[in-house]
Amino acid sequence: MWRALIARRQGGTRVLPEPADEAAGSLKALFAPLTEAPSAADGVLVFAHLAQSLDGRIATASGASRWITGEPDLVHTHRMRALAQAVLVGAGTARADDPRLTVRLVPGPNPVRIILDPERRLDDGYSVFRDGEAPTWLVCAEDFSDEPPPGRAEVIPVPRAPGGLDLAALLRHLRARGITHLFVEGGGVTVGRFLAAGLIDRLHIAVAPLLLGSGVPSLSLPDIAAPEDGVRFSPKVHRLGEDLLFDCALARRRPTWR
């Protein structure tokens, strides 16, 4: 089943085989929606993932996040990378974790690596800028695009928008460069900005049986006036070892902000 999903992601047959067993059925249920053709007008299917504690924290107050969820969720994240043409993280995640953003735990191709760094806070010492394992694009504000690129990265300027970059403009740019499936891997601020802009098609949230009590909140979003202003949906729930994964079909919906 995994080979069929990878083939579908790469533009092969759109018809997936019937699952041969429970494990294949789980793979199909979780990942087939991530290989569908984009339905949004910008032509990009955007899916995201967060790993959090039961009390809604993605890191401790010091920024430590390895590992809140278990090994099965880490494998799950690598599968999401393999099914994306590009994987995106914010500068804060790059600084805190220095992730390679490659596929190592499952068979599949490495995606293009995109780092959102509006004001060019990162230097060329991070792995994604040096290792050459996959193309790396650094997305910054247009008024910071004249600085030399870090390491091997290509700089992509994007217009500013209130609170950050114009993410809708970024998606249009990515589609023009052939990106149709984008994985927003983190962190909470970056995923929150895509959600606030109504630009997430599908969100996976892995919840660990862990209480931290304090730390970095899972999502950073503007205020709403009442619970009915939020986005309510019927998630599909899967077990990943001791963790629970909530598969949320958002379809570009967003809360109603004040």
**pLDDT per residue over 196-238, tens digit each?**
999 999 999 999 999 998 888 998 888 888 888 888 888 999 9
Is the pLDDT score of 112 beyond 90?
yes
pLDDT score, position 220: 80
In a domain, 122, yes or no: yes
Q: Which residues contact 221 (CB under 8 A, 6 or more apart)?
A: 192, 195, 196, 255
Q: What is the mean pLDDT of the chain?
A: 92
Q: Is the dihedral of CA 177, 92, 250, 227 positive or negative?
A: negative
Q: CATH number of the domain that 110 lies in?
A: 3.40.430.10
Question: Is the Cβ–Cβ distance between 77 and 185 less than 8 Å?
Answer: yes
Nearest-5° Cα angle at 170, 165 to 171 = 135
Q: Which residues pair with 156 in a beta bridge?
A: 139
Rounded Cα distance, 167 and 182, in Å: 12
pLDDT score, position 231: 85
The residue segments making up the domain with residue 209 are 2-8+44-249
In a domain, 240, yes or no: yes
Find the mean pLDDT for residues 41-46.
Answer: 97
Find the mean pLDDT for residues 7-20.
Answer: 79
Ramachandran region of residue 80, left (φ > 0), alpha (ψ -120 to 50) or beta?
alpha
Find the mean pLDDT for residues 88-111.
Answer: 93
pLDDT score, position 258: 66
In a domain, 15, yes or no: no
Per-residue pLDDT of 139-171, as tens digits, reads 999 998 888 899 999 999 999 998 889 999 999
Beta strands in the chain (DSSP E): 45-53, 57-59, 86-90, 112-116, 136-141, 154-158, 160-161, 164-165, 181-186, 202-208, 216-217, 236-240, 243-249
Find the mean pLDDT for residues 13-31.
Answer: 84
Count of structural domains, the chain: 1
In a domain, 26, yes or no: no
In a domain, 206, yes or no: yes
In a domain, 49, yes or no: yes
Least confident of 63-67, 108-112, 113-117, 174-178: 63-67
In a domain, 231, yes or no: yes
In a domain, 133, yes or no: yes
